[in-house]
A = this chain, B = another copy of it.
Amino acid sequence: MTCDLLIENAAVLTVDPAWNLYEPGFLAVRGDSIAATGPMAERRAWEAGTTVDAAGMLLMPGFVNVHTHIPMAAFRGACEDLDDRLRKYIFPLEARLVDRDLVYRASRFCLVEMAASGTTCFADMYYFEDEVARAAREAGLRCVLGETVVDFPAPDCPEPYGGLEYGLRFISDWTGDPLVKACLAPHAPYTVDPEHLRAVRRESEARGLPVLMHIAETTPEHERYSVSHGSVLRYLDSEGALYPGLVGAHMIYLDPSDIELAAARGLSVAHCPASNAKGGRPICPASDLAAAGVSLGLATDGPLSGNGMDMQGILGLYPKLQKVRAGNRGAVPAREAVRAATLGGAEALGLGAVTGSLEPGKKADMILVDPDSFSMQPVYDWYSAAAYAMRPSDVAATYVGGRLVWDRTGMKGFDQAEAMADIRRIADRCRGTIAELTGGAP
């Protein structure tokens, strides 16, 4: 049999339902999809256009980062540690600085870090998502991009809720793209009224699209809806705003009946352990959500919240925080963490049949990891090594749909030096405004 690309002699960690690990193994790509994977004994059946000898390397699914705001790379590290940061600093900062050009250039910059650390698929919520789409297409990453719908004037829409119309145009313009799935992203329960929540649901269900939304993230939100409806989730449910396809980011403030409700309504969760912890929030009951049958993906959140955009940091933090919450070393074993960072994320985005594991028929979204580093050796167990010891710098190559998008020589889709020069210029433009808003503090 013939294929276009064949990777051989690697340890192939599939994250398939049987947890198959071929060591050594091979993987054959035909077009943009996985044609076969298995132990090296089965490799001889294949002839390939290009063969990559990955002896000593780990081949695994690329990471799926289910909640980001990548253009906010422009602001990374600004307004750090300040109280009521979102409303006092970030919203005003965005109102003054975010434009089409910043979104495109900061997105390209951010995509380098993501591709270089092994992310092959991500979900984003921001303004000018068509510019994020343009950057992602250049980079070659798979993505679900949600245009923000919100009740105040946004950088890309002078009228409140203008994002709905902007988003529908964006969706229409990008329909049929092989990598970019455009959709809507109502900002949060406290910034979108029930009428618009229902409109978003209607438009999205009609098109079979996911919906991205911050849910049960902030303390004032939690307090407000606890008083009025018992909880944020019960408020949303009372407005018909919980449904399959809705990806709730954060989902921190949940009681046991909220977890049941989330499962019953077919919700997905984008768990953001680093940004939640950095915000001083309680630990999300993530492993309880997963146990209840909710699709759980992991995420960095935006670069202003995380601050790193690598999934290695999240992969290490997710099990640690859940072990603290459970008071149990055995909570979320390493391989469950690896699954959440790959297939779990794909499932959360409704892409479980497309990506997230190395199985024939799926897209060839995968990374080669070079474990020959002083931080990753020795390797007794690939799951432990991937969850706890892998560093962003251990990633050697990132493929999306069988196409090499990054290797140690750099991005394949655009000039990454230009992206670095862009962000320095953007930062120089932002510096004064940030200093002004924070009263001189950084």
Contact = CB atoms under 8 A, between A and B. Distances in A.
A420 B377 contact: yes
Give the interface size bracket for A toward B.
35 or more
A329 B83 contact: yes
A327 B420 contact: no
Interface string A99-130: 00000000001101100110000000000000
A393 B391 CA distance: 9
A431 B381 CA distance: 10
A434 interface: yes
B391 A392 contact: yes
A384 to B, nearest CB: 4
Nearest to A319: B278
A327 B379 CA distance: 37
The complex is assembled from copies of this chain, and their number is 2
A192 interface: no
A110 B377 CA distance: 10
Given A112-B374, A380-B431, A329 B388 contact: no
Contacts of A375: 113, 117, 308-310, 392
Contacts of A207: none
Interface in A297-311: 306-310
Contacts of A328: 280
Nearest to A321: B277
Interface in A388-418: 388-389, 391-393, 416
Interface string A415-435: 010011001101100110010
Contacts of A307: 384, 388-389
A412 to B, nearest CB: 15
B380 A427 contact: yes
Interface in A327-352: 327-331, 333-334
Given A320-B274, A384-B80, A329 B378 contact: no
Interface stretch (A71-79, A167-175, A230-238): A71-79
A199 interface: no
A308 B389 contact: yes
Contact of A388 (B80, B310, B380, B392): B80
A98 interface: no
A278 B313 CA distance: 14
Nearest to A419: B374
A261 interface: no
A316 interface: yes
Contact of A83 (B81, B277, B330, B381): B330
Contacts of A381: 77-78, 80, 442
Nearest to A385: B77
22 contacts: A76-B389, A77-B380, A77-B385, A78-B381, A81-B333, A82-B330, A83-B330, A112-B374, A113-B374, A116-B374, A274-B316, A277-B320, A277-B324, A278-B319, A278-B388, A280-B328, A281-B327, A306-B388, A377-B420, A380-B431, A383-B442, A384-B442
Given A310-B391, A313-B316, A378-B423, 5 more contacts: A76-B389, A80-B383, A117-B375, A274-B320, A280-B329
